[in-house]
A and B are shown apart, each in its own frame.
Chain A
């Protein structure tokens, strides 16, 4: 149980284009999902918290107009990187919170590697 998928697993795009990444909880409902970014040889950094049916909460330094997050259902959140530039190239990972049994364990997707040329 507690499986999270991401699509696509990797994407290459030209500078200035937009890229959408999907995150799905496959066998549980997730009121809250999270988006992280990981640069090479670094740890995961939280970008934003996504709550179903409401606006996302962004961490300091993350541009909300550049990284658009939509959490329209209890099993799907999307991250759109708008007007991508080479410095946005990174490993983007989502997680979903399985909020049962009085814990808020996060289960992570496999990640999406974005390369912006």
Chain B
């Protein structure tokens, strides 16, 4: 079973920041928070992952709360091509990735 809770859908205006929340209140100390996204009819695309510290790469930023019970994926300047289903996954090294229903992000012109 997925260990995360995400809103089923969100809208964001093109050019604005998209902030996607994820709750993972039962996360354990050595579990990472991973984010993937899936554009329609494609395989999932890795975005970012983190353990405790905030992380940033060329695609997004990941903000993890100090108690690690929730996180936020930030797409700083959303474009129409960012429309996708975003999956937040709590993952322990060596375990399977379990995909929940994710958040369907619609970037609107």
Contacting pair B44 A108 (CB below 8 A): yes
State in angstroms the CA–CA spacing of A6 and B43 once bound together: 10
Contact between A113 and B41, CB atoms less than 8 A apart: yes
- Looking across the interface, which residue of chain B has its beta carbon closest to that of A94? B43
Contact of B34 among A46, A105, A111 (CB under 8 A): A105
Partner of B101, one of A34, A43, A45: A43
CA distance A60 to B49 in the complex (A): 28
User: How distant is the Cα of A95 from the Cα of B97 in the complex, in angstroms?
Assistant: 11
Which residue of chain A has the shortest Cβ distance to B48 in the bound complex?
A: A105
Given contacts A44-B44, A93-B43, A110-B43, contact A105 B99 (CB under 8 A): no
A2 beta carbon closer than 8 Å to chain B: yes
Binary A-proximity of B65-91 (CB < 8 A = 1, otherwise 0): 000000000000000000000010000
- A-side contacts of B28, CB under 8 Å: none
Where chain A touches its partner, the secondary structure class is strand
Residues of A within 8 A of B46 (CB): 2, 105-108
- Among A4, A94, A104, the one with the most B-chain Cβ atoms within 10 Å of its Cβ is A104
The answer, yes or no, to whether A100 is at the interface (CB within 8 Å) is no
Encode contact with A along B86-106: 1 for CB under 8 Å, 0 otherwise: 010000011011111110000
Q: With A and B bound together, what is the CA distance between A102 and B44 in angstroms?
A: 22
Residues in chain B near residue A106, CB distance under 8 A: 46, 97
Residues of B within 8 A of A (CB): 32, 34, 36, 41-46, 49, 87, 93-94, 96-102
